[in-house]
Structure 1
Amino acid sequence: MEYRPLGSTGYTVSTISFGAWAIGGSWGSVDDDESIKALHTAIDNGVNFIDTADVYGDGRSEKLIAQVLKERSEDIIVATKAGRRLDEQTPQGYNRDNITKFIERSLKNLDTEALDIVQLHCPPTEVYYMPEVFGILDDLKQQGKIKHYGVSVEKAEEAIKAIAYPGVETVQIIFNMFRLRPSELFFELAKKRNVGILARVPLASGMLTGKMNKNTQFEQDDHRNYNRNGEAFDVGETFSGVDYDTGLHAVSEIEKLKPENATMAQFALRWILMFDAVTCAIPGAKNPKQAIDNAAAADLPPLPESTMTRIQEIYDEMIREEVHHRW
C-alpha cells in the first residue's frame, strides 16, 4: 500500500481507501456480514481511510464502520458527510440547527467523541457562496465535535470556490477516466493551497471494471437502474454522467491498454494515482474479494506515458463532448 499526506489535516492516508456507500445501500442487495468482512479485509491490506455518509443506508454504513473499528487496534481515519438528510435541498437548509443535528447523529452512529473529517455532501451551488455555513463548521470544530472539514462537490467550479474558505482542508470530487476536467481546472490550485483531493466514483459506477455489457441487469434498488437520467439525484453520480452504450464503447478501447498483471478496476485506480494532486481514490467494496482487488491497485507500477496519452485521446474522442462542460 502507498500512503500520501491528506492536505493540511496532518493525516497520512492510504492511496486506496474504502468507499462505504455500497455497504449502506443504493447498489442492490447487500449483506451486513459480508460488508463487515470487506471492511476488515481492507484494513488487513493497508487501508486506513474510510469514506461514508449519514445517508448511506440511513446510518447503516456509519454503524457498520463503528462496529468494525471497535474490533481493530489500527488508527483508522473516517470521513463522513452531512447535508443530504434535508427533505429538500435548499441553501437555507444548511443552517446551524440542521448541520449540528446531522453532526451529532453521525457522532452517535460512529460511536465517537469527535468526527475525523466532515464533508458537506454535494450541497446546492449557492451554499459555496454562504460564508456563514463554513463559519458553523468552524464553530463545531472549536467545540471539538469535528477535527477537520471539507466538501464533496459535483462541479470543479464548486471545488474552486470552496477552497477559498481557509477551513476547507479536503475536497472530494468525481475523477476517473471519464472525468478529466478536475485535473485541468482544479488540481494545481488545490496543490498550491495544500488541499487534499479524494477521488470519488473512481470506477464510474463499475463501468470501468470492464464487467458490464449491453445485457447487464441491475436490481430495482440500484441507482444504476433508477438514476440513469438523474431521476433521484445528479445524473453525474451514475456512470459519471456518461451514456451507458458510449461508456461500454470507451471501455472496450481502454481495455486494450490494460497492463497484463492488472484487472481493469486496478488499472483504472492506478491511472488516478498517476496524478500527484490526488491523495486517494475511494472505490467501494461489498465483499472481501473486491476489497483485496482494490487495495492491490496501489502496488502496480506507474503507467507509461503512452498509456496516459492514449486515455486522454479516448476521452477527447468519445467522452469529452458529453460530460466536460457539465461538471
Structure 2
Amino acid sequence: MQYRAFGRTGWQVSEIGFGGWQIGGQWGRVDDVASIRTLLHAFEAGINFVDTAELYGAGHSESVIGQALRQWRGAKIYVATKAQPTVWPNPEDLAPEMRGRFPSWHLRANVDASLRRLGVERIDLFQLHSWGPAGHRELDWLETLSDLRTEGKIDQIGVSLRDNQPQEGVALARLGLVASEQVIFNMFEQPPRDALFPAARAGGTAIIARVPLDSGSLIGQWTDSSYENFEPGSQPHQMFRGDRFAETLARVAALKSDVAPYYSNLAEAAMRYVLAHDAVSVLIPGMKSPDEVDMNIRYSDGAEFPHDLLAKMPRHAWVRNFYR
C-alpha cells in the first residue's frame, strides 16, 4: 500500500481508502457481518482511511464502521463522516444560499450522534455534505466547527462538493479554510483537473476523490441486461434509469477501446487514472467483500499511468448530474 500526505494535516493516509456508502444499505441489501469482515480485511491490508456519512443508511454505515473499529487492534484508522444540510440545495440552483443550511444546533446534534454511532472519542475528519459556493463568505458553519475542534469532538474540518460542481470549491481550496475537499473524479467526471486541483495544491488542501469507478460502470463488467438486476429503489437503479444506462454502456465501450492496448481490464485503468493525479490524497471506492478490497488495493503500487493514454482521456469527459 502506498501512502500520501493528507494536505497540511500531517496525516499519512492510504491512497486507496474505504468508501462506506454501500454498507449503509442504499446500494442493495447488505449483510452487516460481511461488511465488518470486509472492513477488517481492508484494515489488515493497509487501508487506514474510511469515509462515511449520516446519510448512508440513516447512520447505519457509521454504526457498522463503529463495530469494526471496536474489533480492530492494529494501527490508527482515520475516520471521516459528514453532516447533511437542513435543506438540500436544488441541483439546478447555481448559487444556493449557504448561511443557515448548517446551523449550530444541527451540526452539534450531528457530531454527537456520529460520535455515538462510531464509538470514538473524536471524529478525525468532519465534513459538510453538499457544501455551497458561498460558504467561503458565509462562515457560520466554520465558527461552529471550530468550536467543536476546540472542545475535542472533531479534529479536522472538510467539505464534500456537489456532484457536478467542482468549481464551487476552488476559492475555498485556495484559501485553505478547511483541511480537505471531497469531489467526484473519474475517467468521465474530469473537470476537477482544470481549476480545483491546482487550487488545492496551492492551498495545501487535501482532495478526496469519490466514485472513481463511476458507481460501478467503470469496472467494465456491465452488460445490456445488468440494469434489470439492480434492486428497485436502490441508488444505482435510480441513477442509471431511463436512457442513462444504455448511454453509459456505449461510453464505457469507447473507453475500453482506448484502454485495451495498455490494460487488461477497465477497472485497473480507472483506478490508476485517479491515482495518477498528485493533488488526490485518497480515493474511496466502495467495497462489499474482501475480494473487492484485494482487487482495488493491488493498484496501489506506484506504477505510472501511460502518458499516451492520459492524452486520450479528455475526449471521454462526460459531466452528469444524477439528481436531475
Structure 1: which 5+ residue stretches go unaligned?
231-241
Quote the Cα distance in structure 1 between the aligned partners of 2:49 and 2:64.
15
Quote the Cα distance in structure 2 between the aligned partners of 1:209 and 1:88.
30
Give RMSD over aligned pairs.
2.3
SS of aligned partner of 1:290: helix
Query: 8 Å contact 2:208–2:283 — kept in the other structure?
Result: yes
2:36 counterpart residue number: 36
- Residues 177-228 of structure 1: per-residue CA shift (max 9 Å, x gap): 0111000111011001111000001111101001112221210131111244
CA drift of 1:260 comes to 6.8
- Residues 15-58 of structure 1: per-residue CA shift (max 9 Å, x gap): 11000000012101111111111111111211110001112111
SS of aligned partner of 2:68: helix
SS of aligned partner of 1:280: strand
2:178 counterpart residue number: 168
2:130 counterpart residue number: 122
Length-normalised TM-score, structure 1:
0.87
1:265 partnered with 2:273: no
2:93 counterpart residue number: none
Match of 1:279 among 259, 278, 281: 281
1:11 counterpart residue number: 11
For 2:198, the aligned partner's letter is E
Matches within 5 A, 1:232-243: 243=244
1:131 counterpart residue number: 139
Query: 8 Å contact 2:125–2:158 — kept in the other structure?
Result: yes
Query: 8 Å contact 1:119–1:151 — kept in the other structure?
Result: yes
2:253 counterpart residue number: 252
SS of aligned partner of 1:98: helix
SS of aligned partner of 1:53: coil
Quote the Cα distance in structure 1 between the aligned partners of 2:174 and 2:140.
13
Quote the Cα distance in structure 2 between the aligned partners of 1:227 and 1:180.
19
Query: 8 Å contact 1:42–1:288 — kept in the other structure?
Result: yes
Q: Which sits farther off after the overlay, 104-113 or 214-223?
A: 214-223
Query: 8 Å contact 1:151–1:162 — kept in the other structure?
Result: no
Query: 8 Å contact 2:208–2:280 — kept in the other structure?
Result: yes
1:142 counterpart residue number: 150
1:107 counterpart residue number: 115
1:179 counterpart residue number: 189
For 2:193, the aligned partner's letter is S
Percent of paired sites with the same residue? 33
- Say if 1:224 and 1:308 are closer, same or farther in 2 by CA, change over 3 A: same
For 1:224, the aligned partner's letter is P
Query: 8 Å contact 1:94–1:127 — kept in the other structure?
Result: no
SS of aligned partner of 1:122: strand
Q: Which sits farther off after the overlay, 162-171 or 270-279?
A: 162-171
1:193 partnered with 2:203: yes
CA drift of 1:259 comes to 6.8
1:308 counterpart residue number: 310
Quote the Cα distance in structure 2 between the aligned partners of 1:264 and 1:222.
24
Query: 8 Å contact 2:16–2:47 — kept in the other structure?
Result: yes
Q: Which sits farther off after the overlay, 2-11 or 125-134?
A: 125-134
Query: 8 Å contact 1:153–1:159 — kept in the other structure?
Result: yes
For 1:157, the aligned partner's letter is Q
Quote the Cα distance in structure 2 between the aligned partners of 1:221 and 1:300.
39
- Say if 1:123 and 1:193 are closer, same or farther in 2 by CA, change over 3 A: closer
SS of aligned partner of 1:297: coil
Structure 2: which 5+ residue stretches go unaligned?
90-96
Equivalent pairs counted in the alignment come to 308
Quote the Cα distance in structure 2 between the aligned partners of 1:289 and 1:138.
40
- Say if 1:96 and 1:41 are closer, same or farther in 2 by CA, change over 3 A: same
1:220 counterpart residue number: 232
SS of aligned partner of 1:206: helix
SS of aligned partner of 2:271: helix
CA drift of 1:314 comes to 3.0
Q: Which sits farther off after the overlay, 183-192 or 303-312?
A: 303-312
Q: Which sits farther off after the overlay, 99-108 or 121-130?
A: 121-130
Length-normalised TM-score, structure 2:
0.88
Query: 8 Å contact 2:19–2:285 — kept in the other structure?
Result: yes
Q: Which sits farther off after the overlay, 90-99 or 175-184?
A: 90-99
Q: Which sits farther off after the overlay, 200-209 or 69-78?
A: 69-78
CA drift of 1:278 comes to 0.7
CA drift of 1:126 comes to 4.5
SS of aligned partner of 1:289: helix
- Residues 61-84 of structure 1: per-residue CA shift (max 9 Å, x gap): 111111111222221101111125
CA drift of 1:116 comes to 0.3
